[in-house]
Amino acid sequence: MSIPSKHFYMIRHGQTEANAAKIMAGSLDSPLTTGGIEEAKRAAKILPHLEIKPKAVFHSNLSRARDTAHILNEKLNVPMFENADLAEMHAGDWEGVPYSNCQDMLHGWTNPPNGETYDEFFVRIKRAKIKALSHANGPVLIVCHGGVFRAFSKLFEISTFGVRNCHLYEFESSPETPDFPWKSWHYEYYDGKTPALQCDCTVENWVPMTKPSSMTPSTRIESHKINKNVMRTACDIFHADNISPTSSPADKIAS
């Protein structure tokens, strides 16, 4: 069964103690920092301004995703569903070690020693996406992990890195792009104190809107200011043109 090409939203959890310490958490239950809680509260401020709001929230069983989901749902008040299949990849012997010791996993597709294989990870992420997107009552919000974003994109042979904590993405059904049947958007909340960010995947993942751009007009991407606080920007890190030149275990699983 294929992943349904339905409208949905997805967000990574807020900053955790492991993120702050630059340590691989994987399946370990690293809690949100005070900053991570504030990130979730900031992201929650976007939700009332969405044109089409999520009708349900699906989240990982790890506390960092569960707690983020509960903060977000304070603005939605919709049914919530916990699914262990949305958890971060089990990193085996690399769990609890500095990022510098597991670069082959973070920036490649090396299976962690004594952990989950990428074959296994891709299978369960596909299963989780099918379950969430088969929810019949409109779009859902999926609250998960950086590795889940990366696995989801790799199922369609797209390389995605640098998904930031608690930044909301929207995926609109786009049948005209069957290689990756969604158009993706990023939302940013601007409170007048911190610079809003604009997704720019042709130069870097993100550039401040207040910073002079090095892009030519042909590479500028579509943005919409919903109101004085919320910006919606097209994001090419989930675009089929960003296809990885190398194959992975996902080749066998995407269909």
- Of 13, 135, 186, 239, the catalytic one is 13
Q: Is 88 a catalytic residue?
A: yes
- Of 88, 95, 116, 188, the catalytic one is 88
Q: Of residues 210 and 138, which shows the higher confidence score? A: 138
Q: Of residues 116 and 250, which shows the higher confidence score? A: 116
Tally of CA atoms within 13 A in the half-sphere of 250 that contains its CB: 23
- Strands in 80-82's sheet, in edge-to-edge order, are 80-82, 56-59, 140-144, 8-12, 168-173, 182-189, 230-234, 223-225
Q: Of residues 250 and 142, which shows the higher confidence score? A: 142
Q: What is the DSSP string of 161-193?
A: --PPTT-EEEEEE-TT-TTS-EEEEEEEE--SS
Q: What is the distance between the alpha carbons of residues 198 and 74, in angstroms, rounded to a whole number?
A: 26
Q: What is the pLDDT of residue 210?
A: 33
Q: What is the pLDDT of residue 16?
A: 98
Q: What is the chain's mean pLDDT, rounded?
A: 84
Q: Is 82 a catalytic residue?
A: no
Q: Whole-prediction pTM value?
A: 0.86
Winning range, highest mean pLDDT, from 21-35, 98-112, 168-182, 203-217: 21-35
| Cβ contact 106:99 at 8 Å | yes
pLDDT exceeds 70 at position 216: no
Give every CB contact of residue 73 below 8 A, 6+ residues apart in sequence: 57, 80
Q: What is the pLDDT of residue 194?
A: 57
Q: Which domains are delineated in the chain?
A: 8-182 (3.40.50.1240)
Give the percent of the chain with pLDDT over 90.
67
Q: Of residues 235 and 146, which shows the higher confidence score? A: 146
What's the pLDDT band for 224 if we cut at 50, 70, 90? confident
| Cβ contact 240:150 at 8 Å | no
